[in-house]
Amino acid sequence: MNTIKEGKTTAIVAYLTIIGALIAITMNMEPKNEFARFHTRQAFGLHLMFHGFALFSSVWFNEYALYGLYLCCFMLWIYGFLGALSDKKQLVPVIGPYFQKWFTFIS
């Protein structure tokens, strides 16, 4: 429980923007916190996914695809952000386990 309280601020900062995720990575350098690391990986993955799909959508423009992208990313972001606020280590649905596996460089 003490680990969660110590890493909560870093976890919340990670969800704010992609810059916030980068700041959270540096905030968690020393001392390392398991809760902050978990949410930083989730948030970093969500931000990269959003920006990657936004770049793809800008080339292949479809209005409905953009609406779906924004809605999907916003829902996943809310899910992760509420998990950080409520002191839970809950994976983002479907893609959360991949973020934990792919972003092992975030420690």
User: From CA 43, how far away is CA 5, in angstroms rounded?
Assistant: 18
At residue 16, the pLDDT reads 93
Residue 1 is predicted with a pLDDT of: 57
Q: What pLDDT does residue 104 have?
A: 85
The total number of residues written for the chain in this structure: 107
**Cβ contact 57:46 at 8 Å:** no
* pLDDT at residue 14 in the model: 93
Indicate whether 72 pLDDT > 80.
Answer: yes
Reported as a single tens digit per residue, the pLDDT across 7-65 is 899 999 999 999 999 999 999 888 888 999 999 999 999 999 998 888 887 777 777 77
> Whole-prediction pTM value?
0.86
Average of per-residue pLDDT across 80-95: 91
Is 18:49 a contact under the CB 8 Å cutoff? no
- Would you place residue 102 in the very low, low, confident or very high pLDDT band (cuts 50, 70, 90)? very high
b/e 46-76 (16+ beta carbons within 10 angstroms → b): bbebbeebeeebeeeeeeeeeeebeeebeeb
Interatomic CA distance for residues 99 and 93, integer angstroms = 11
Q: How far apart are CA 67 and CA 31, in angstroms?
A: 40
pLDDT of residue 48: 92
